[in-house]
Amino acid sequence: MPETVLVIGGGPAGLEAARSVAAIGGRAILVERRGVLGGTPDESSYAALTPRMGSAQDALDELRAGVADPAIDVRLETLVTGCSGSVGDFSVSLSGPGGESSERVGAIVVATGFQHFDPGRETQMYGYYEYPDVITLPDAEKMLKEHTFVRPSTGEPPRNVAFIQCVGSRDRRIGNEYCSKVCCGVASKEAIEIRRLLPDTKVYIFYIDMRMYGYWENEIYWPAQEQYNVTYIRGIVTEIVGKDGRLLMKGEDTTMGRPLEVLMDVIVLSVGMEPSRGTRDVAGILGVDQNKYGFIATPGEPMDPVSTSVPGIFVAGAAAGPKDLEDTIGMAGSAAIRAVAAVRGQAPAQPAAAR
Amino acid sequence: MALQARYEDVPLETKQHLFDQVKADARFDSYLYGCYECGICVAACPSARFYDFSPRKIAQAAGRQDLPMFYEQLNDDIWNCSQCFSCTRCPRGNNPGGLITIMREVAINNGLSSAKHALEGYGRVVYKIMSTGTQVSPDMLQPNAFPDWGPHVQEISDNLELWRRALPPDTLHTTSTAWEVDDRTLTELYLIWHMTGVLDMIKSVDMGLHMILNDVMEELLDEAGYTAD
């Protein structure tokens, strides 16, 4: 019986899952679609991580160093193209730079992640593809990584900046009914960074509910409001129209009970999480159930967040739905242990909820 | 920010200038942190039950530095607060009532006509408290003594005993049972009014009252070896 665990995806979840498999004496094959490890935080140029503002690249470097281990076989530019067998003895087809190959593995960890919601889709347009100064959280992140924040249309620093929360999340009309969990914190973090770079710029966050649970509350939300004077206004913007080269934003200030119209120079759409292309593809290839939003289903929740519908196939990170990095890393360790146990035929009894 | 605002004819610089004075107050930073807009201050506020008044909006406008709204509040809202500080149960540690204290001082120090108007009815109360150092008691509530106490003063004073039995206060002080303030205490009080700027504040809203108070205080302060100004 093969002792090896296949980890699909080289982002934070996959890196940590592979490292954990090796740390407890197993062997791992880590496959990654791109030519570099690091996943979405790397691909989307994340600058500083929420909530503690540490460098994303430093954090990823640590995770990458974790898979520099003889027990981990890293395959870059490699896709999973087929899978057969069952727990303890899967046969998987891989397609990489060296051509096709087949591997026998005892268990699989899916760590294929999420993609940012595309704000051009359907009704929540906000003129993303019309106005260059309407951008998304990852677009802002790219600028902040270069320690700058300007109006894309002019290259000048903005006077007024607004974030619009829940773009692509919590919306029955577009089918994404869930909360994407991290956008409130990330928007607040970016707002702080903008205020640090541009002390004369006013920064607004328009929200439905601010959801910064646990320590994100006092580590991000309070400082943003109290030290950096970020203005939080409860109310979602209905539309954005161009006016005299700026952006006129219409909405309601719900807690003050009045409609409002404000001129902004940059508007940042806080786009949420959707299952990545890889997550959708891999779910089909492996034959694991997806939930109604396309994320990998985890029928054992709440007590078992890593088992999928197929015994021996586990999931870690945002492939299973919106996750912050803390949850992703914790989940990756749990999935690794469950995978190695499955390989060794010592799978712990399923919690009651999963039976 | 808002589509409709009162006092649009007042220049933004004036509003900014007044806001800056509030923000520069040494107490400001410990009275305002951030606002959840949870509404616990409004829920606790007795004034909010009777007037169109919201301590939450006071905290929010100050936090957002929303100058048009701040200026509206400075003129139209802050005198609706009873300064009971029930709003200090704020989970963020804010003190909206304290913000109002600062805003009232700024309104008075800048001689805002709304402040003068709001304080008109209190001239005699202020005179009584500041000159005698003791309280106003309900049996003073007579139309002759306090004609500026509103249209119901006649009706209330006619049946005062009945009113007091119907709504028994903790104490039933009257002019005859109120405490007597000795000269030394009164001298100290007068000095406090002078040295803390209270008299200057009164001067900016009511010149007449200021003159009368100065006259009353002068003698006692002279005797104690101080000059009245």
Interface confidence, given as ipTM, is 0.80
Domain containing residue B71: 12-110
Q: Is there a contact between B65 and A229 if contact means CB atoms under 8 Å apart?
A: yes
Q: Grade residue A2 by pLDDT with cuts at 50, 70 and 90.
A: low
Yes or no, beta carbons of B37 and A260 under 8 Å apart = no
Residue A4, amino acid: T
**Which residue type occupies A49?**
L
Is pLDDT at A353 greater than 70 in this prediction? no
User: DSSP string of A96-146?
Assistant: ETTEEEEEEESEEEE---EEE--TTSTT--TTTTT-TTEEEHHHHHHHHHT
pLDDT of residue B121: 76
Sign of CA dihedral B210, B213, B215, B221: negative
> What's residue B192's pLDDT?
94
Q: Would you say B67 and B15 are in contact if contact means Cβ atoms under 8 Å apart?
A: yes
* C-beta separation of B139 from B146 below 8 A: no
**Beta-carbon count within 10 A of A66 CB:** 16
Share of chain B above pLDDT 70, in %: 89
Average pLDDT, chain A: 94
The chain B residue lying nearest A224, using CA atoms, is B34
Task: Give the mean model confidence (pLDDT) for residues A223-227.
Answer: 96
- pLDDT of B150 > 90? The answer is no
**Helix/strand/coil for B89:** helix
pLDDT band at B226 (very low <50, low <70, confident <90, very high): confident
CB pair distance less than 8 Å for B3 and A262:
no
> pTM to 2 decimals?
0.86
Distance, C-alpha A312 to centroid of its chain? 24
Number of folded domains in chain B?
Answer: 1
Give the per-residue pLDDT at B135: 76
Mean pLDDT of B145-163: 73
Q: What pLDDT does residue A124 have?
A: 59
Task: Please confirm whether the linkage preceding A302 is cis (ω < 30° from 0).
Answer: yes
Q: How far is B30 from chain A (nearest CA, A)?
A: 11
With CB atoms and an 8 Å threshold, state whether A222 touches B33: yes
CA distances from A191 to A43, A152, A194, A255, B66 (A): 22, 17, 5, 21, 19
Q: Please tell me the distance from the alpha carbon of residue B11 to that of residue B35, in angstroms, as a whole number.
A: 27
Say yes or no to pLDDT of B153 above 80. Answer: no
User: Is B187 contained in some domain?
Assistant: no
Residues whose CB falls within 8 Å of the CB of residue B62, separated by 6 or more in sequence, listed in order: B22, B23, B32, B70, B99
Q: Is residue B94 part of a domain?
A: yes
B57 at interface of A, judged by CB pairs closer than 8 A? yes
Report CB contact under 8 Å: A226, B3. no
Q: What confidence category does residue A355 fall into, taking pLDDT thresholds of 50, 70 and 90? A: very low
- Residue B59, classified by CB atoms within 10 Å of its CB into exposed (0-12), middle (13-18) or buried (19+), is buried
Within an 8 Å CB–CB cutoff, is residue A261 touching chain B? yes
Question: Does A277 score more than 70 pLDDT?
Answer: yes
CB contact under 8 A, B60 and A234: no
Question: CB-based contact (8 Å) between A231 and chain B?
Answer: yes
Q: Is the pLDDT of residue B167 over 90?
A: no
Q: Residue A280: pLDDT above 70?
A: yes
Q: Is residue B81 assigned to a domain?
A: yes
| Residue A102 dihedral angles phi and psi, to the nearest 5° | -125, 140
The pLDDT score that the predictor gives to residue A352 is: 47
Q: What is the mean pLDDT of residues B72-83?
A: 95
Is A1 a residue whose pLDDT tops 90? no
Reduce the DSSP state of residue A178 to 3 states and report it. coil
- Sheet holding A313-315: strands in order across? A72-75, A27-31, A4-8, A107-110, A313-315
Tell me if B134 is assigned to some domain. no
Average pLDDT rounded to a whole number, residues A110-135: 88
Q: Which of A229, A234, A261 sits opposite B37 (nearest CB)?
A: A234
**Cα separation of A190 and A185, whole Å?**
9
Place of tokens 């146990």: A341
Residue A118 is encoded by which pair of tokens? 């595309």
Q: Answer yes or no: do A260 and B65 touch at CB < 8 A.
A: no
Q: Average pLDDT in the A137-166 region?
A: 97
Report CA Rg, chain B.
Answer: 20
Report the alpha-carbon distance of residue B201 to residue B194 in Å, rounded: 10
Nearest-CA distance A327 → chain B (Å): 26
B62: domain CATH number? Answer: 1.10.1060.10
Residue pair B187/B168 in contact (Cβ under 8 Å)? The answer is no
Least confident range of A142-146, A251-255, B49-53, B147-151? B147-151
Interface test with B, best of A160, A212, A232 (most B CBs within 10 A): A232
B53 shares contact with chain A (CB less than 8 Å): no
Does A225 contact B at CB distance below 8 Å? yes
Residue B3, pLDDT > 80, answer no
For residue B164, pLDDT beyond 50: yes
Q: Is A227 on the interface with B (CB under 8 A)?
A: no
Average pLDDT, chain B: 87
**Torsion sign (Cα): A187, A191, A197, A203:** positive
Whether B145 is in a domain gets the answer no
pLDDT at A18 over 70: yes
Confidence band, pLDDT 50/70/90 cuts, at residue B155:
confident
Query: Chain A interface, mutation test: which of B37, B57, B66, most A Cβ atoms within 10 Å?
Result: B37
Cβ pairs A/B, distance under 8 A: 35
Give the tens place of pLDDT for each residue, A72-93.
999 999 999 999 999 999 999 9
Give the per-residue pLDDT at B227: 73
Q: How confident is the model at residue A158 (pLDDT cuts 50, 70, 90)?
A: very high
Look at B3 and A260 and tell me if their CB atoms are within 8 Å.
yes
- Facing residues of A204 across strands? A162, A231
CA-CA distance, A151 to B111, in Å (whole number)? 43
What the block records as the tokens of A311 is 């015994």
B2, B4, B34 member nearest A225 (Cβ): B34
Cβ–Cβ gap A258/B33 under 8 Å: no
Mean of pLDDT values over A280-293: 98
Q: Which of B60, B67, B73, B94 to mutate to test the interface with A (most CBs of A within 10 A)?
A: B60
B2 touches chain A (CB under 8 A): yes
As a whole-number percent, the residues of chain A with pLDDT over 70 amount to 95
Mean pLDDT of all residues in B44-60: 94
Q: What is the pLDDT of residue A260?
A: 87
Cβ contact A167:A272 at 8 Å: yes
In a domain, B146, yes or no: no
**Residue A354 in this model has a pLDDT that exceeds 80:** no
State how far the alpha carbon of B135 is from the alpha carbons of B81, B102, B122, B176, B183, in Å.
21, 24, 13, 12, 16
Q: A179 CA to chain B: closest CA distance, Å?
A: 20
> Does residue B68 belong to any structural domain of this protein?
yes
- The pLDDT assigned to B156 comes to 77
In the predicted structure, residue B94 carries a pLDDT above the cut 80 = yes
* Minimum CA–CA partner of B35 in chain A: A225
Query: Which residues of A are less than 8 Å from B34 in CB distance?
Result: 221-222, 225-226
Q: Which domains does chain A have, with CATH numbers?
A: 4-113+276-354 (3.50.50.60), 117-272 (3.50.50.60)
pLDDT at residue B184 is higher than 60 = yes
d(CA B13, CA B184) in angstroms, rounded, equals 46
A172 touches B: beta carbon within 8 Å: no
Does residue B223 form part of some domain?
no
Which of A42-51, A94-103, A151-160, B146-155 is predicted least confidently? Answer: B146-155
Tell how strand A89-96 and strand A99-105 pair up: antiparallel
> What's the angle, vertex CA A209, arms to CA A149 and CA A263, rounded to 5?
40
Tens of pLDDT, residues B25-39:
999 999 999 999 999
pLDDT at B112 over 50: yes
Distance of alpha carbon A64 from alpha carbon A66, whole angstroms? 5
Percent of chain B exceeding pLDDT 90 equals 60
List the single residue in A with minimal CA-CA distance to B31. Answer: A226
